[in-house]
Structure 1
Amino acid sequence: MEPLTVIACGAIAREIGAVLAANRLQHVTLTCLPAILHNAPQKIVPAVEAAIAAAREQGCQRIFVAYADCGTGGGLDALCLREGVTRIPGPHCYAFFRGNAQFAEEAEEHLTTFWLTDFLARQFDAFVAKPFKLDRHPEVVGMLFGHYERVVYLAQTDDAALDRRGRAIAARLGLAYERRLVGYGDLTPALVAAAAGA
């Protein structure tokens, strides 16, 4: 099987590793970019572009981008088209973990939902609380999250400790809590197809 390089968001590195291992995709090399890029989506496209160039310099002929649009406003799609590579479909990881088709069907409820994944349940303080200074200024919670009605935790794994973290995050934000065990959603078929050259 021809080698494949997957350039991925660091926020889904664990999940990609699990999919690769479960499907014995040993010919796939994973390159992860910093997850914190999500707090500055304008930096995602240049970072992915540099990673593609680096992979090609190392002789990689097949590259798959494991990023959804992630706030790039179509910039990532334009880059992929220009570079002749593909990416996983979807606006963000919440959509492809849920399943893009199912996520689109539920569009009306999205405006008042704050989404969590396994990664964000683990890293809420580093990626949300500290950057938005919720730890020092809890009064801004209402300003930032006042239009939300609930936290929906799209769980990749059945982990009681992460469920407790999700509940604690919802309580901290003053929101209702819902957990859906969705697994890896569209990530698995996308990676398997890319690895097979489909």
Structure 2
Amino acid sequence: MTPRDTDLTQAGLAPSGRGRVLLLACGALAHEIIALRRMNGWDHLDLQCLPAIWHNHPERIVPAVQDIVAARHGDYDRIFVVYADCGTGGQLQAACDSLGVRMIAGPHCYSFFEGNTRFAEHADEITAFYLTDFLTRQFDAFVWKPLGLDRHPALLDMYFGNYETLVYLAQTDDADLTARGAKIAARMGLTFERRFTGYGDLAKALAQA
């Protein structure tokens, strides 16, 4: 799978001259970024996404970011990388530093959605499995099927036997997504907890971008 743009024309994000910022983001954040752009009138921000499934292959993220920054830096005044570390072991931050571009702070989206400071206060939650709005919508495609649980349900205990709680970090107050999250927790045999985070540090990072 190769990097792909979101549908920029349909989303109203097509580049139009100077004074613009390119957001190079994980596809799992596209919905939230577009919502924040519309809510705040950030018309100077354009969006290009890498495939969300690359969270299962973090080794692909850094080379793709490097290639796109090299190809598009002349088209924009700034490029902002809307990824946290996301399993790259510090390599993404090192690449951004060498390229002279900024990225969002934090280890992963669970942290910056809740707020990195607040998430760090839950560092002892080693038995918690986290969902966001995106993962609640796409749980089967991004978790259940890639782990083979649709074909081998007996593997559930091997993967998640040490977990106790499913924590749904909700970006939106959506009753349907909350119900989906509760059903996922029941399917996994976990206690369900919902925390409304809103957009957390993502909103702050984009405002600064």
Structure 1 length-normalised TM? 0.94
- Whether 1:131 aligns to 2:146 is yes
Partner of 2:86: 70
Quick check: 1:153 aligned with 2:168? yes
Partner of 1:12: 29
Corresponding letter in the other structure for 1:66: V
**1:14-51 CA distances to partner (integer Å, 9 max, x unpaired)?**
00111111111101110011000001111111121122
Structure 2 counterpart SS, 1:107: coil
* CA RMSD, 1 decimal: 1.0
CA distance in 1, matches of 2:77, 2:98: 15
Structure-2 residue corresponding to 1:23:
40
CA drift at 1:165: 0.9
Structure 1: unaligned runs, 5 residues or longer? none
CA distance in 1 between counterparts of 2:141 and 2:192 reads 21
Q: Distance in 2 between matches of 1:166 and 1:105?
A: 23
CA deviation after TM superposition for structure 1 residue 131, in Å:
0.5
User: Under a length normalisation based on structure 2, what TM-score does the superposition of the two structures give?
Assistant: 0.90
Percent identity reads 59
Matched residue count: 192
Match of 1:174 in 2: 189
1:104 and 2:104 correspond: no
Q: For residues 69-110 of structure 1, give each alpha carbon's deviation from its aligned partner in whole angstroms, at most 9, with x where no partner exists.
A: 00000000000000000001000000000000000111111x
Superposed counterparts of 1:34-45, under 5 Å: 34-45=51-62
Determine the C-alpha separation between the residues in 1 that align with 2:199 and 2:66: 26
Residues of 1 paired with 2:162 and 2:19: CA distance?
48
Provide the C-alpha distance between the structure 1 equivalents of 2:73 and 2:205, rounded to a whole number of angstroms: 21
Contact 2:19-2:76 within 8 A present in 1 as well: no
CA distance in 2 between counterparts of 1:89 and 1:151 reads 24
The aligned counterpart of 2:101 is: 85
Q: After the TM superposition, which parts of structure 1 deviate over 2 Å for at least 4 consecutive aligned residues?
A: none
**Structure 2 unaligned residues grouped into runs of 5+:** 1-17
Equivalences for residues 111-126 of structure 1 within 5 A: 111-126=126-141
- For residues 88 and 22 of structure 1, the distance between their equivalents in structure 2, rounded to whole angstroms, comes to 20
Which structure has more relative contact order (CA 8 Å, sep 6+)? It is 1
- SS where residue 151 of structure 1 aligns? strand
